[in-house]
Structure 1
Amino acid sequence: MIIILLILLLLVVLILNAFFLYIQKRGSKALGAEAPKVKMDEGLVEKTAEFVKKDKQMWQIQSTYNGSHLHGWFTDNNDDVTVIMVHGFGVDHNSLNVHAQLFDSLGCNVLQIDNQAAGQSDGKYLGFGYIESLDLINWINKVLSVRPHDKIILFGASMGAATVMLTSGNDLPKNVKLIIEDSGYTSATDILSYHCQKRYHIKGRALIAGISLMSRVRAGFSYRKTDCRSALEKNSLPILFMHGKNDFTVPFKMRDELSTCGQFPKMSYESRGVHIRSYYVDSRKYHGAVEKFLKMYL
């Protein structure tokens, strides 16, 4: 009987480990990381191509979380405002080139980073925003070591949006002025549960709890660390919440859950766009919302 129980326990561990690797290993497509094909508004392709050609400085830091070497690309516009761009799940900094050119067009300096386990950065496992939020604090300190008087804006999309919201719960340097989140989710548990129900028609809460335990053992954190609502309750910085009503990767209702948390200055923007594609199809209104937010709170 004991041998049978040990065999069953081993099987459970092996299954949970397989799910953990499927969800959190570098290059994971567990949340459908393939970007939706959406035609950009007129002129955006050309403007983005021009931005990509601009001179960029490669910056590097070492994560204080696990020692990973991380890479970023800084576009200097000789401004006193720097926007740190945080990308989403299963992609790299290039996925936000079109958004980066928006801030570039507003005259801001732009720092595009590769998260852990993405692009040119080291790392084995994705952190659903938790590991990335700790690394983002390292990136903030890097900016201030080079440009100590800059005002800093944090911009994140999808998992990057979760990252900037989780970062907001920390005691940040006074130079960090604003946060913009595009298509962020409430927590790793919530978004994984949503995809379990959407794809496989199961709640999967027990399975997700087991994977969370495996994440704690292998990646150093449980999914409880990814609760953006708890972080927002501690936040005092102005936040712009940007979501598309036709987002089926991160459900639109999460916008309302997030934007009602905490007591801090808030603005909301919505479009008919899909996941992280509001700017593609509603660029004028999106641009206007960002510009208004900056003018109001920066």
Structure 2
Amino acid sequence: MNWKKAASILIPTVSILGFSQLCTKFYRYGFARVDPPLTPETDDPEYLAAYQEFSQWFNRQKKEQWWLYSDDPSNRIHAVYLPNPRPTKKAVVIAHGYHGNAQMMAAYAQLFQELGYHVLMPDNRGHGESAGRWINFGWLDRLDYLDWCLDLIDHLGSDCELLLFGVSMGGAITMMMSGEDLPPQVKAIIEDCGYSSLHEQLAYRAKVEFHLPQFPTLPIASLINRIVLGFSLNDVNSLQALAKNTRPIFFIHGEKDDYVPTSMCYKNFAATSAPKEMWIVPNAKHAEAFAIDPEAYRDRVSWFLSRAGL
């Protein structure tokens, strides 16, 4: 074999192997479990002070520790339940975001408790006190959340009324739940800055953070994910679920979101024919809508809930 022929075989092979290794690193970077610090890493003293205030509120609340699949250590899922101090049949299930946990949703828990709801705050798979080495970006979580709804119905009675609420990846979880056969007690959905599909979100992040092309980055990552978690990246799709949705849904997104692009909110809104509302929050970046103007956020949420009959 001459050198030119050997090079024509060797160079593409080495390139493919090298790029495959880079895609594997991309997959590990995006999907491997990362437990966040107890305090947000921020230089903004106002944000940190607000976070600490909500955390102190959360620590003062009466809590119950709930579990799914508790007899299976490799599969068990954790949630914190905050019973409302006033009698009520309303409850909200709050879905946290990527690399978050239940306690990091304390601000929203306080909001909904003040609005008269019991609050259930799960730790998604691969987050918080729940099991899992890998993050599934809501595709498996959506079924866990359905089980959480059934547990709430058992706990509160068949006459209870449930709200689904989520931020970022949590917003995607609630949207993907909307395509499932939900119990009639689930009355409405509020999603804040969730992505339209995992394929589109990862393609955007691969380009922005790693300067990687969609092809073959995402097909390789999808193959790895099918081996690791059992599903394709294309399965994780809010738009397909929203097309089946029949419940009132409120879409919230920051005008200046450059992590989950604001354009995704418009796609999500267009995907469902159910009763719907949308609020693009001026000057808000990713997951900042509540922090930018908590009073307006509360007013908008209350207005939507009244329209939805809650």
Query: Which protein has greater RCO, CA pairs closer than 8 Å, 6+ apart?
Result: 1
Give the match for residue 263 of structure 1: 273
Aligned partner letter, 2:123: D
Residue 253, structure 1, aligned to residue 263, structure 2: yes
Q: 1:57 to 1:171 in 2, by over 3 A?
A: same
| Partners of 1:26 and 1:117 within 8 A in 2 | yes
Gaps of 5+ in 2: 1-7
Aligned partner letter, 1:97: A
| 214, 222, 228: which one aligns with 1:204 | 214
Q: 1:7 to 1:113 in 2, by over 3 A?
A: same
Give the match for residue 136 of structure 1: 145
| 22, 25, 44: which one aligns with 1:18 | 25
Residue 281, structure 1, aligned to residue 288, structure 2: no
CA-based RMSD: 3.1
Distance in 1 between residues matched to 2:49 and 2:300, nearest whole Å = 19
Give the match for residue 237 of structure 2: 227
Q: 1:162 to 1:238 in 2, by over 3 A?
A: same
Query: TM-score of the superposition, structure 2-length normalised?
Result: 0.85
Distance in 2 between residues matched to 1:11 and 1:129, nearest whole Å = 30
Q: 1:213 to 1:227 in 2, by over 3 A?
A: same
Offset of residue 68 of structure 1: 0.9
Aligned partner letter, 1:138: D
Offset of residue 198 of structure 1: 2.1
Offset of residue 244 of structure 1: 0.7
Give the match for residue 160 of structure 1: 170
| 203, 225, 230: which one aligns with 1:193 | 203
Offset of residue 4 of structure 1: 9.9
| Partners of 2:35 and 2:127 within 8 A in 1 | no
Offset of residue 6 of structure 1: 8.7
Residue 49, structure 1, aligned to residue 60, structure 2: no
Distance in 2 between residues matched to 1:256 and 1:17, nearest whole Å = 32
Offset of residue 66 of structure 1: 11
Offset of residue 213 of structure 1: 1.2
Offset of residue 16 of structure 1: 4.0
Distance in 1 between residues matched to 2:305 and 2:48, nearest whole Å = 23
SS in structure 1 opposite 2:46?
A: coil
Offset of residue 205 of structure 1: 3.5
| Partners of 2:179 and 2:244 within 8 A in 1 | yes
Aligned partner letter, 2:141: E
SS in structure 2 opposite 1:234?
A: coil
Q: 1:246 to 1:39 in 2, by over 3 A?
A: farther
Q: 1:17 to 1:203 in 2, by over 3 A?
A: closer
| Partners of 1:24 and 1:126 within 8 A in 2 | yes
Segment of structure 1 superposing worse, 145-154 or 166-175: 145-154
Segment of structure 1 superposing worse, 233-242 or 35-44: 35-44
Mark the structure with the bigger radius of gyration: 2
| Partners of 2:77 and 2:131 within 8 A in 1 | yes
Segment of structure 1 superposing worse, 88-97 or 108-117: 88-97
Aligned partner letter, 2:150: N
**Which deviations, in whole Å up to 9, do the C-alpha atoms of 1:172-213 show, x marking residues without a partner?**
100111111001111111111111222344433420121011
Query: TM-score of the superposition, structure 1-length normalised?
Result: 0.89
Gaps of 5+ in 1: none
Residue 58, structure 1, aligned to residue 65, structure 2: yes
Give the match for residue 254 of structure 2: 244
Aligned residues, how many? Answer: 295
Distance in 2 between residues matched to 1:25 and 1:244, nearest whole Å = 27
Q: How does 1:87-166 map to 2 (within 5 A)?
A: 87-149=96-158, 150-166=160-176
Q: 1:10 to 1:142 in 2, by over 3 A?
A: farther
